[in-house]
Amino acid sequence: MKLLEERIIKDGTVLPGGVLKVDCFLNHQLDIPLFCELAKEFYRLFADCNINKILTIEASGLGLASITAERFGCPVVFARKSRTKNLSPDVYSAKVFSFTHGEPYDALVSKKYLSPADNLLIIDDFLAMGEALTGLWSIAGQAGARVAGAGIAIEKAFQPGGDNLRKQGLRIESLARIASMDENGVTFC
Amino acid sequence: MKLLEERIIKDGTVLPGGVLKVDCFLNHQLDIPLFCELAKEFYRLFADCNINKILTIEASGLGLASITAERFGCPVVFARKSRTKNLSPDVYSAKVFSFTHGEPYDALVSKKYLSPADNLLIIDDFLAMGEALTGLWSIAGQAGARVAGAGIAIEKAFQPGGDNLRKQGLRIESLARIASMDENGVTFC
């Protein structure tokens, strides 16, 4: 998607260690008018899939998931990263390794909010090693829910997560796919 | 707001220990069509305030903040609850005690995303002791930003957070204000 690629080139910064910093529009400050355009594109891609629920994970995917759910007229369910007093003990869970924090966490979704009647679209802001997406796909599977696909804002296509999951049969639509990046800039697939 | 009060009565559960469980529509599964109605009401209340940015805190306020920001045509900035590799060390911060987790955390916002040029609306799903809201108001103050007010979905008005902050001069608009609640039900102000 041209609009997103241009925005990454304009405002993204590549830090040493393979970190793409896009926190001025994607994951700390959220450019909601941009999100509306991304959501429109997700809707175009998945409009004929009878999506009845969006699945995402806290925190930064939640804004994009919510704006996308508005297009589909459906609710969002988000996986929590820690067990809180307010979450039912009756949960689906998946162990997810966070490369940002260097340690694993449990992604948790209450069993009340996913079922075999659901036809899900998974939304997230980033896809790199595919850890979070694998966890969400597993949680959907535990619930017997169907996953029509995953809509991702930015995929680091030079990391294996996306292609591994595609090989396993998951439809993934990434709006910007980065082929390579370094301090001199970003190139797209 | 009648619509939200009716929804709390229909789907909310009061657990022992003063916990109002509304995770089926507000903070685990997000009823986005309902959020659109709440956002419309926030827009009606603050339409003449020249809001240029919404401030919230991860995670569960992020969906409502994003849908509300769409009405105002402005970005969202959200405070993070832990320092991650992707967050600039140059942050405004506030210590916030979490009654859900029984311990304090640091709310952090990068200094790049708040300034004296900002006129903020703070959005959150819950207001009880006012800890998170106090932290966000402090962060806005550190940045020299103006805070036009705070829009809250559910206020536990029998706890002192909201009135304490109102006395200190913060305009707070809560769409449902709970006067009392127990296992037999909820009454509103």
**In A, which residues are within 8 Å of B109 by CB distance?**
28
A-B C-beta contacts closer than 8 Å: 135
Instruction: Using CB atoms, pick whichever of B32, B87, B88 lies closest to residue A74.
Output: B32
Count structural domains, chain A: 1
Partner A contacted by B86 (CB < 8 A) = yes
Please write down the long-range contacts of B175-180, taking CB distance under 8 Å and 24 or more positions apart: B175/B1, B175/B4, B175/B38, B175/B41, B175/B42, B175/B151, B176/B1, B176/B4, B176/B5, B176/B8, B178/B8, B178/B20, B178/B154
Contact call for A28 and B65, based on CB within 8 A: no
The CA distance from B8 to A1, in Å, is 40
Residues A162-187 pLDDT 10s = 999 999 999 999 999 999 999 889 99
Query: How many angstroms separate the CA of residue B91 from the nearest CA in chain A?
Result: 12
pLDDT greater than 90 at residue A37: yes
pLDDT greater than 60 at residue B83: no
Work out the average pLDDT over A50-66. 96
The pLDDT of residue B85 is: 52
- CATH code, A102: 3.40.50.2020
- Please state, in angstroms and as integers, the Cα–Cα distance from residue B59 to each residue in A68, A178, B51, B137, following that order: 17, 27, 22, 17
The pLDDT of residue B99 is: 81
pLDDT greater than 70 at residue B87: no
The pLDDT of residue B86 is: 55
The pLDDT of residue A88 is: 60
pTM of the model: 0.95
ipTM of model: 0.95
Domain span at residue A96 reads 2-82+91-188
Work out the average pLDDT over B96-116. 90
Partner A contacted by B42 (CB < 8 A) = no
Residues B146-156 pLDDT 10s = 999 999 999 99
Residues A116-162 pLDDT 10s = 999 999 999 999 999 999 999 999 999 999 999 999 999 999 999 99
Residues 88 through 127 of chain A touching chain B, CB cutoff 8 Å: 88, 100-101, 109-110, 112-113
Work out the average pLDDT over B168-183. 97
Residues 2 through 31 of chain A touching chain B, CB cutoff 8 Å: 19, 21, 23-25, 27-31
Residues A62-95 pLDDT 10s = 999 999 999 999 999 999 987 555 556 799 999 9
